[in-house]
Amino acid sequence: MELKKIFPDLYEENLRNVIEQEGTVVHLEQGEMLMDIGGFIKFVPLVLEGSLKIMREDKDGHELLLYYVKAGETCAMSLTCCMGDAQSNVRAVAEEPTTLIAIPVRYMDLWTNQYQSWKSFVMHTYQKRFEELLETIDGIAFQKLDDRLEKVLKSRVDMAGSNHLVVTHQELASELNSSREVISRILKQMEKRGMVKLGRNKLDVLF
Amino acid sequence: MELKKIFPDLYEENLRNVIEQEGTVVHLEQGEMLMDIGGFIKFVPLVLEGSLKIMREDKDGHELLLYYVKAGETCAMSLTCCMGDAQSNVRAVAEEPTTLIAIPVRYMDLWTNQYQSWKSFVMHTYQKRFEELLETIDGIAFQKLDDRLEKVLKSRVDMAGSNHLVVTHQELASELNSSREVISRILKQMEKRGMVKLGRNKLDVLF
DNA sequence: CGAGTAGTGTGACTGAGGTTACATCAATGC
DNA sequence: GCATTGATGTAACCTCAGTCACACTACTCG
């Protein structure tokens, strides 16, 4: 398996062996939900390919994008499950066709004791997600919607590795906890300024 | 020292001994800043008494309350410093006269290997702060200002252990990244509905 | 006691963004 | 081709909250 290439920080060979031994490879179609809010976390996902979208939802069904989990990463929320309540407070959806290794949570605590590289991987994950949550907070609290939309577009371009995005206004609106009309309005303004080129179900980012 | 009483989860006696040996007791006056954004983290604070206010600031100087660190707790941000960059991305200010033990960061990694209870304390801290950040995000993204203000008042009542709060409208406005006039306006409405009683530099919470 | 100062009250205005209500418009299937 | 459906464009309107301007009020300190 290409575990070594995708997760170079897990440098202990023994660790990689147990991961392959105890983990289950799972494949998700685009849009498939891996975990819903309130669901019980029974495993930790190590993403091999594709990406997961982690989001939060309020009582009225409004969504908000928290961050993406890409290849070589894992979800910080699921790491906390080894202690106390194992219920998820976020939703995880495959943003594209995605392959991951599911590790039963019972190994979490054990491995952090046994494998230095696993411990440091977990710690780094916490730190990274923490910073991302802080950025998300900055975005909502301090930035205006157009800036936030730009940021989402940029990050999608990065992930897709292409300026050509296949996405609807509605999807963008959901990620930003806004409404479709508002996003259409802002995108139109951006098009007038030459920042994007709009199409049906797609748009080209030009900045 | 009352370490055992305040941090009952650190059940290993050896651990408590090293903490007392290697840590330095620090006292902060109300309003004193422990750590500023961009500052270098050289120690982890274990709060013995009082509380720290952890906040974020944008480039224009607007502040936003993230969470409080109370007695028996520590700051998650400072835990991440043992790996990679040691610069703080938040500000920590004493909310009231506060006593804490400052642990040099070099012990962090060592202790998580050596003391099971320290490791689990660190993990629990991460989990707790994660949840609080998510709540903060919910607040900003989904709730209106009056709800958020109510929440802040409630949490201050809890901390003070009294319905009588000594605080100015300006302080509340800063915590919520809002403006004084708006908070005054909302407080006045709340007074009309009998939820609070207003005074100069103080207010009584009646809900 | 009078001046200065920090905190508070209030009204008018503004702008961002959410909502409503339609009008198109492009793909798809029949 | 034509109907259906989902995606997009747009205008009118409304609400919340930020800003400005200024009055007022309770302390403090010389």
Question: How confident is the prediction along chain B (207 residues), in pLDDT tens digits per residue?
Answer: 588 999 999 999 999 999 999 999 999 998 899 999 989 999 999 999 999 999 998 888 888 999 999 999 999 888 876 666 678 989 999 998 999 999 999 998 899 999 999 998 998 898 899 899 999 999 999 999 999 999 999 999 999 999 999 999 999 999 999 999 999 999 999 999 999 999 999 999 998
Contacts B64 to A, Cβ<8 Å: 137, 141-142
Tell me which chain B residue has its CA closest to the CA of residue A143: B58
pLDDT greater than 70 at residue A1: no
B205: phi > 0 → left, psi -120 to 50 → alpha, else beta; which?
A: beta
Segment A131-138 mean pLDDT: 92
Rounded Cα distance between B116 and B138, Å, is: 33
Segment A154-172 mean pLDDT: 94
Report whether A10 contacts A16 (CB < 8 A): yes
pLDDT greater than 90 at residue A53: yes
Report whether B173 contacts B137 (CB < 8 A): no
Q: What is the pLDDT of residue B78?
A: 82
Query: Footprint of strand C, using CB within 7 A?
Result: A 144-146, 177-179, 181-182, 186, 200; B 168-170, 180-181, 184-185, 187-188, 198-202
Q: What is the pLDDT of residue B24?
A: 96
| Band of pLDDT at residue A163, cut at 50, 70 and 90 | very high
Contacts B126 to A, Cβ<8 Å: 80, 126, 130
Chosen from A123, A143, A144 to mutate, greatest number of chain B CBs within 10 A? A123
Query: Footprint of strand D, using CB within 7 A?
Result: A 168-170, 180-181, 184-185, 187-188, 198, 200-202; B 144-146, 177-179, 181-182, 186, 200
pLDDT greater than 80 at residue A167: yes
Distance from CA(B183) to C1'(D27), angstroms, rounded: 22
Distance from CA of B50 to the nearest CA of A (A): 25
| Band of pLDDT at residue A59, cut at 50, 70 and 90 | confident
Segment A142-165 mean pLDDT: 94
pLDDT greater than 80 at residue A81: no
Tell me which chain B residue has its CA closest to the CA of residue A88: B131
Nearest to A88 by CA among A129, A134, A38: A38
The two three-digit tokens of residue A127, written as one number: 């730190």
Report whether B57 contacts B91 (CB < 8 A): yes
Segment A122-141 mean pLDDT: 91
Contacts B90 to A, Cβ<8 Å: 134
pLDDT greater than 90 at residue A61: no
Kind and range of the H or E run holding B185: helix B180-192
Taking CB atoms and an 8 Å limit, are B83 and A56 in contact across chains?
A: no
Q: What is the pLDDT of residue A78?
A: 82
Taking CB atoms and an 8 Å limit, are A134 and B56 in contact across chains?
A: yes
Distance from CA(A183) to C1'(D6), angstroms, rounded: 17
Q: What is the pLDDT of residue B82?
A: 63
Contacts B84 to A, Cβ<8 Å: 124, 127
CA distances from B57 to A150, B51, B150, B176 (A): 21, 19, 22, 11
Report whether A93 contacts A135 (CB < 8 A): no
Q: Which residues contact B192 (CB under 8 A, 6 or more apart)?
A: none
